[in-house]
Chain A
Amino acid sequence: GNSVTQMEGPVTLSEEAFLTINCTYTATGYPSLFWYVQYPGEGLQLLLKATKADDKGSNKGFEATYRKETTSFHLEKGSVQVSDSAVYFCALISGGSNYKLTFGKGTLLTVNP
């Protein structure tokens, strides 16, 4: 079956620090990969996605590259801001159901000024 393993949190950084949140997956077929973000008091929002190997998804300064050889989709940002404090979820869709997302457990990021 499908599964997603992401770095356990919480992660605490100072403003302008470099961020990496690791995500690896197991999937049948060729999955599409996603990062979702949940800001305090809000619903999950799609942050970025990649649908095939070597694709790079990017949004709001965040990037993640679909690495088929290492089955990974690590989230990175060069310089975090206080407003990036949120819970980040790695997820995938695979196996023919284009609506059934498989999520990781989420990583809480806190950025201090």
Chain B
Amino acid sequence: NAGVMQNPRHLVRRRGQEARLRCSPMKGHSHVYWYRQLPEEGLKFMVYLQKENIIDESGMPKERFSAEFPKEGPSILRIQQVVRGDSAAYFCASSRILESSSGNTIYFGEGSWLTVV
């Protein structure tokens, strides 16, 4: 009974390269969320996706960042032309249909640690 699967767990990129982080939600989940944890900060919401739709991207940086959740395959968080400030842990979460005031139905992955050198 696999949980939310993220890969790679650790990724090192040089400045200017692209980073792609993948997330496979739990079986039966059609809602995916991405959070970022910068050093010395709490997790911050980035984006909420359903299959083939971006529902809320209010936490996404305006440039270089994009996310998708295609009909088939994992969700992808893509960071173009990475800079040192992108170094962080990126957490994916998934859920079925949300109940009111949920938190208990949102399941998190182990995170992907991006280091930009």
Q: Is the interface of B mostly helix, strand, loop or mixed?
A: loop
A-contacting residues, B73-117, CB 8 Å? 91, 93, 95, 98-104, 106-111
B89 to chain A, nearest CB (A): 10
- Contact partner of A44 among B40, B45, B91, CB < 8 A? B91
Interface size on A, residues (CB 8 A): 25
A87 to B41, CA, bound (A): 13
B108-A43 in contact (CB<8A): yes
B104-A49 in contact (CB<8A): yes
B103-A32 in contact (CB<8A): yes
B-contacting residues, A15-34, CB 8 Å? 32, 34
B104-A43 in contact (CB<8A): no
A38 to chain B, nearest CB (A): 8
B4 to chain A, nearest CB (A): 6
Q: Which of A43, A104, A105 has the most CB of B within 10 A?
A: A43
B-contacting residues, A36-67, CB 8 Å? 36, 41-46, 49, 51
A100 to B42, CA, bound (A): 13
B-contacting residues, A68-113, CB 8 Å? 89, 91, 93, 97-106
A99-B104 in contact (CB<8A): no
B4-A43 in contact (CB<8A): yes
A100-B45 in contact (CB<8A): yes
A95 to chain B, nearest CB (A): 11
- Contact partner of B103 among A41, A43, A46, A104, CB < 8 A? A46
Q: 19 A-B Cβ contacts within 8 A? A: A43-B3, A43-B91, A43-B107, A43-B111, A44-B93, A51-B101, A89-B42, A89-B43, A91-B103, A93-B101, A97-B56, A98-B99, A99-B31, A99-B102, A100-B59, A101-B43, A101-B103, A102-B42, A105-B40
